Amino acid sequence: MANLSSLVHELRERIAASSSTPPNKSDDSSLELRFRTVIPNLLHAYVVPSSSANEREVIAILKLLTHTVKNFPGVFFHGKASAILPIICRIIPFFAEPSFCARHGIIFETLGSLLSLLRTGDRDAYRQFFEDVMAVVEDVLTIASVSNNTSEPELEVSLRCFSGSLSGISPDSIVLGDIPVCNNSVDGIGIMINLTGHTRWQPFATWIIRVSCKCLTEGALNVEGLVNVPFVLAACKLLCYGDAALQMACFDLVRILGAILSNDIIPSENMIMLISTVLSEVEDGLPVFRYPCHFRL
């Protein structure tokens, strides 16, 4: 921890000085090597997706990651997939942890900085990640529809995902962190995420939709030609099952898709009817989003 404290202090000094003095490349290389030694230990010890994880410690390390990615991308080999993707797959399951809901925005910021670096460092890996995100949206729709249509107690559901992204990485080539044991898939490549109940799958779906929005806006040229009809329809249908946050995320995605895709792909008429239905719900005289909205696309 003393070593970490020293690194953080040095990082702050370097960032503060970078605006007024040219960076010293030799000093940067030394700092990068030291961070590459410390970061795997921090991830393994503290950034473990679970309800028992210490929120303060997790968020502190994620903020450190965000600053490091933005200011010293060399720590992450300038976006090498084997450095970035395992960390991303360690962070994503936090979106399904109810105890971290209040911190999902910070988690998303860290994820976004890692994705930006991956986009510049490995375009093919970035494209595969976006394809995995689209597949997750389709799978979450299935979970939502089953959860909504059963009268039984909450079914235990775990989703295996991001197998495409991780299949291209050899375990021997992972340089900064691995997948937490609690999220390891025992029956194939990928990460396992517990999506049991609406308190897990709804926020997870919300932030995965927002991840897809980020890829489509910031990485539009990189993901060109990848958007498919099943993904679009799944995102639209999730409107029928989500809470207000998920509905807003879906609306944002449809707005973005409407600007880059043919109108034939988006069920525009049904979307207009759905928007009208959602906004017609009134509580205390004010229009609000309905929780859930029962409507078929």
> pLDDT tens digit string along 195-253?
999 999 999 999 999 999 999 999 999 998 899 989 998 998 898 887 889 989 998 99
pLDDT band of 260, cuts 50, 70, 90: confident
Write the burial class of residue 19 (CB in 10 Å: 0-12 exposed, 13-18 middle, 19+ buried): exposed
| Rounded percentage of the chain residues whose pLDDT exceeds 70 | 76
Distance CA 239, CA 228 (A): 18
**C-beta separation of 193 from 92 below 8 A:** yes
| Per-residue confidence (pLDDT) for residue 191, from 0 to 100 | 94
**Residue 17 pLDDT > 90, yes or no?**
no
**Residue 286 pLDDT > 90, yes or no?**
no
Among 41-50, 116-125, 128-137, name the one with the lowest average pLDDT: 41-50
| Per-residue confidence (pLDDT) for residue 113, from 0 to 100 | 97
Token pair 């340089």: residue: 175
**Residue 29 pLDDT > 90, yes or no?**
no
**C-beta separation of 140 from 201 below 8 A:** yes
Count of residues for the chain? Answer: 297
| Per-residue confidence (pLDDT) for residue 158, from 0 to 100 | 92
**Closest by Cα among 1, 24, 192 to 92:** 192
| Per-residue confidence (pLDDT) for residue 66, from 0 to 100 | 94
| Per-residue confidence (pLDDT) for residue 18, from 0 to 100 | 56
Query: Which residue did the predictor score with more confidence, 9 or 169?
Result: 169
| Mean per-residue pLDDT, 100-104 | 96
Query: Which residue did the predictor score with more confidence, 97 or 273?
Result: 97
pLDDT band of 293, cuts 50, 70, 90: very low
| Per-residue confidence (pLDDT) for residue 289, from 0 to 100 | 42
Token pair 């707005």: residue: 255
Distance CA 228, CA 249 (A): 18
Torsion 94-97-99-101 (CA) sign: positive
pLDDT band of 30, cuts 50, 70, 90: confident
